[in-house]
Structure 1
Amino acid sequence: MTTKALAGKKIAVLVENEYIPEEIAAYQTRFAELGATVHLMSRLWNQPSVRFVSDVDEVGKELQYLDVNMDFQNADINNYAAVIMAANYTSVRLRYFHPPAGQLISPQQTKTAPAVQFFAKAMHRSQIIKGFLCHGLWILTPMPELLKGRKVICHEVVLADIANAGAKYVSSETGIVVDGDVVTGRSGADVHKFIEVIATCITIPSSSAPAAVR
């Protein structure tokens, strides 16, 4: 893709604890090279900034930290060309919701998690590209109607949940699958291909984009 192909575009990336540092760095570096502005967002709990800690998946690996000062609840989703749910367990943490005072917890309340609501809005806006890497599709499972019938790929750890929500799993040699305005990647290791496909989907109308990238 040509340099600055995404000039003037904004990309939102939702993060939380247990993020993958190399993945976040890839978004910041490559999208910037293409001319886009990357906004890292999370739920800040009425704080001006929250520091998140990285994932450690091997003995001896040092923790890293990420300071985020943008709350997605204050963002206008219509200003973004793409919104991305980061890999690993960030989506699990962002599904947290507050049970109403004095009420027992019910499955329906899972839909009230602010990040779930954020992505539900995005899913209803076809002009916004939605990206879900690795475990990222977990953010949609409280609203299975958002996943029903969509062609996706995901990490095998979450495959049962995604299939039970009605999505159609597609095996892919590239690790990336495109279904219209939704781009999914199998694992964090596929982040570079994931970025290039998202960039292409932003610059090419969804009606002209391939149904799946394999």
Structure 2
Amino acid sequence: MTTRMLEGKKIAILVETEFIPEEIAAYRQHFQELGATVHFMSRLWGNESVRFVSDVDEVGKSLQYLDVNIDFQKVNINEYAAVIMAANYTSVRLRYFEPPPGQQIRPELTRTAPAVQFFAQAMANRRIIKGLLCHGLWLLTPMPEILRGRRVICHEVVLADITNAGAVYVPPPVNSQPNDPGNIVVDRDLVTGRAGHDVYAFIDAIAQQIVSQSQELAGVT
């Protein structure tokens, strides 16, 4: 890809505990190589900073930590060229919501989770490229109307949820390898990737969509 092709662009990446360290490192390195500024953000619960812990899927695997000091509830989403939901179970944790005091939990309240609302704002703005990797589409399922009819790929663990939400699943190639272009699906301003190990192909697809979007807005063909 063209060096520094994202010069001056800002990328928002939503994270939480159980992040994949290699994925986070790829965002930090590759987007910056392309010239973009990367902002890792999350719900900080009124704190100036929150430390998140990496995934523990392997016995004996050492933990890594990620300190985040940007609360997505306090940023202007329209300043970002892309908004990304990180892989693994970070999206599940970000779907957390609290019912109003004295009220019971009801299914429709799942839509009120701050991260769900934040990403719905991004989905409503076609100028923002949206990226969801692996389990990331879980963040959209509380609002199935924003997934309905969209072509996506995801980890098979999420497949039932996204198809029940009305998305159109595009399967990966048989015997695909990590970072196989077939593990990435682009549907206009929406880029999805099958698994965390596809992160570099995922980043490249998002970068290309940002450039294409910028050219389209500038009237360049």
Give the TM interval when normalised to the shorter protein.
over 0.9
Give the corresponding residue for 2:212.
204
Aligned length: 208
Amino acid in the other structure paired with 1:28: R
- Distance between the aligned counterparts of 1:171 and 1:199, measured in 2? 22
Amino acid in the other structure paired with 1:146: I
- Distance between the aligned counterparts of 2:214 and 2:170, measured in 1? 19
> Partner of 1:84: helix, strand, or coil?
strand
> Are the aligned partners of 1:180 and 1:207 in contact in 2 as well (CA < 8 Å)?
no
- Distance between the aligned counterparts of 1:207 and 1:59, measured in 2? 47
Give the corresponding residue for 2:88.
88
> Partner of 1:141: helix, strand, or coil?
coil
> Are the aligned partners of 1:181 and 1:206 in contact in 2 as well (CA < 8 Å)?
no
Matched, 1:195 2:191: no
> Partner of 1:196: helix, strand, or coil?
helix
- Distance between the aligned counterparts of 1:31 and 1:111, measured in 2? 31
- Distance between the aligned counterparts of 1:33 and 1:206, measured in 2? 19
Give the corresponding residue for 1:162.
162
- Distance between the aligned counterparts of 1:74 and 1:205, measured in 2? 25
Give the corresponding residue for 1:108.
108
> Partner of 1:204: helix, strand, or coil?
helix
**Runs of 5+ unmatched residues, structure 1:** 209-214
> Partner of 1:17: helix, strand, or coil?
coil
Deviations 1:14-62 (A, max 9, x none): 0000000000000000000000000000000000000000001112210
Within 5 A, what are the aligned runs for 1:86-165?
86-165=86-165
The farther-off stretch of 39-48 and 173-182 is 173-182
Matched, 1:37 2:37: yes
Matched, 1:179 2:187: yes
Deviations 1:161-181 (A, max 9, x none): 000000000013321000010
Amino acid in the other structure paired with 1:181: D
Percent pairwise identity = 72
Deviations 1:60-112 (A, max 9, x none): 21010000000000010000000000000000000001111111110111100
Structure 1 stretches of at least 4 aligned residues deviating more than 4 Å after TM superposition: none
Report the CA distance between 1:153 and its aligned residue.
0.2
Q: Which structure dedicates a bigger proportion of its chain to helix? A: 2
- Distance between the aligned counterparts of 1:55 and 1:14, measured in 2? 15
Amino acid in the other structure paired with 2:206: I
Deviations 1:141-169 (A, max 9, x none): 00000100000000000100000000000
The farther-off stretch of 167-176 and 92-101 is 167-176
> Are the aligned partners of 1:175 and 1:185 in contact in 2 as well (CA < 8 Å)?
yes
Amino acid in the other structure paired with 1:110: T
Amino acid in the other structure paired with 1:178: V
Amino acid in the other structure paired with 1:184: T
Give the corresponding residue for 1:49.
49
> Are the aligned partners of 1:10 and 1:82 in contact in 2 as well (CA < 8 Å)?
yes
> Partner of 2:213: helix, strand, or coil?
coil
- Distance between the aligned counterparts of 1:179 and 1:108, measured in 2? 27
TM-score normalised per structure 2: 0.92
